[in-house]
Chain A
Amino acid sequence: MKKICLTVVGMYLMLLHAFAQTTKDTTTFKPRKLKLDEINLVSSYYTQDGNHSSVQGGIGSEKVTDLANGLEVKWVGWDAKERKNTLTAGLGIDYHTAASQAYISKTGASRRTDGMRIYPSLDWTRENEKKGTSFSLGAYYSNEFNYRSLGASAGGTMKNKRNGEWGLKLSAYFDQVKLIFPSEFEPPYSSGGSGRDEEDHPDYGSSPRQTYTASFSYSQIINKRLQASLLLDVVDQHGYLGLPFHRVYFPDGSDAVERLPSTRFKLPVGLRLNYFLGDRVILRSYYRYYMDDWGIRSHTASLEVPVKITPFFSVSPFYRYYTQTAADYFAPYAQHGKTDTYYSSNYALSSFSSNFFGAGIRLSPPKGLFSTHLSSLELRYGHYTQTTDLVSDVISLHLQFK
């Protein structure tokens, strides 16, 4: 135990001393190699409960816990043409437990009720501060027991002479959905163990899913206290867009795997407006309208009000309201017709409203917390409720080291 404590303290001290002080030479410009600039750690603990599990056709426990962790390391350098290069490496590790996973087996006997997702990422941005332009490339990977994803992106931004900035980002994800069907739809197999558990399955098939997104943005400084941005995503998805272990029940008691269209077109539009009120209060507002060709129409509105208690300590209460109409293919438990072409009882596609409220605190003294490289600490809690009776809580911590 003493060795573990000393090791953890040693690792923390190594992290604090990982930064070299840099100052830009303002007399004669010299290119500078990439140097460590910033490290961000974000951890969240999420817990939810409800009684409309998709695995059981719209009934049953939706109890889930999730511990999500993200590490982001940023290096910055300048090349001979005075362009700023930023390389950001990210690593996410999520661990979740889900009560509904036990019911992938019809009897609730599935041994696997947890899972882990690992998702590294790499982003590179080249910024020309003189021209006000930037160009970026990104690569992403994600792996969990039932899903694998490879993604890439390319983007650019351009400033105009009136304090505005245009942005465009194109991204694509090429995914494989592992076909883990509910047990009553799997043929018996034997490779040791119980013979009917996904742990013992010799070889699952998989089905592809592709997602293509074009993200447009325009941000504008309106006056000395007010700035806004407009965001538009055009999203096109193809392939296996449901999940193979989601059931649908029919009025006669029989069941099937949910069946959804193999294409989906989404169009969300968002507007952010941030206003500095007086000397201590900021109003951060957001609105989004969303539509897709599955029939969902939704509105999202949120307001966050950071209050600066001191210049380096702020408290931020927030509230978010969301409402959506149901997808054309959704129906509750045992209400789908057997002759329907598409059917799902996933309550994320149902008609509902939700409220999300909470508060956060932020500490960011100029010389770092406790005079260390820990430049900023944020802690945030939120409580979420849906009219479907889903309830969740999330607490998040962000540590920034410079």
Chain B
Amino acid sequence: MRHSNFRWWPAVFALALAFQACSTVKEYQKNRLNDSEMSLSSRKVEKNELNFQSYREGAAGANGGKTGGGCGCN
């Protein structure tokens, strides 16, 4: 693996740390955040789409779907 591709890792960690500095939101203020379409996971209706994309493309993973294995696909 080429080492130059690791240059973006500090940005990822900085982003993760930045999340730690966010404002506190109380439970009664979460009405918009709790909307089902604000969910941070893929919709169930997208499940098969994610599979088809992983079969036809070289990349997979980091989306709650397949990362490899489990089926007769690369």
Contact = CB atoms under 8 A, between A and B. Distances in A.
A144 B71 contact: yes
Interface in B48-68: 48-49, 51-53, 55-64, 67-68
A242 B74 contact: yes
B45 A398 contact: yes
A393 to B, nearest CB: 10
Given A282-B38, A349-B74, A164 B19 contact: yes
Nearest to B12: A269
Contacts of A336: none
A327 B15 contact: no
Interface stretch (A9-17, A23-31, A146-154, A190-198): A146-154
B74 A243 contact: yes
Interface in A270-309: 270-272, 274, 276, 282, 284, 286, 288-294, 296-298, 300, 306, 308
Contacts of B67: 171, 211, 213, 215, 233, 235, 266, 268
Contact of A146 (B47, B51, B72): B72
Contacts, number: 221
Contacts of B52: 46, 66, 384, 392, 394
Interface in B16-59: 16, 19-20, 22-25, 29-30, 32-33, 35-40, 43-49, 51-53, 55-59
Given A243-B74, A266-B60, A268-B62, A221 B25 contact: yes
A362 B72 CA distance: 32
Nearest to A50: B56
B70 interface: yes
A286 B20 CA distance: 20
A378 B22 contact: no
A218 B24 CA distance: 16
A374 interface: no
A51 interface: no
A196 to B, nearest CB: 22
A379 B47 CA distance: 13
Contacts of B60: 235, 266, 268, 290
Contact of A288 (B16, B23, B46, B59): B59
Nearest to A44: B48
Interface residues of B, number: 49
A228 B47 contact: no
Contact of A276 (B1, B38, B44, B69): B38
Interface in A141-179: 142, 144, 146-147, 149, 151, 162-164, 171, 173, 175, 177
Contacts of A112: none
B44 A222 contact: no
Nearest to B68: A211
Interface of B: 1, 5, 8, 12, 15-16, 19-20, 22-25, 29-30, 32-33, 35-40, 43-49, 51-53, 55-64, 67-72, 74
30 contacts: A42-B45, A42-B47, A117-B71, A142-B70, A142-B71, A162-B24, A211-B70, A213-B61, A213-B67, A218-B16, A220-B20, A221-B33, A224-B29, A266-B67, A270-B62, A271-B15, A274-B38, A276-B33, A284-B37, A290-B58, A296-B59, A308-B37, A322-B57, A349-B58, A349-B74, A364-B36, A378-B43, A380-B46, A382-B49, A394-B48
Given A144-B72, A327-B58, 11 more contacts: A117-B72, A232-B62, A235-B61, A264-B68, A268-B61, A282-B35, A286-B63, A290-B58, A290-B59, A294-B58, A346-B74
List the 5 shortest-distance A-B pairs measured between CB atoms, nearest first: A211-B69, A173-B69, A270-B62, A147-B72, A268-B62
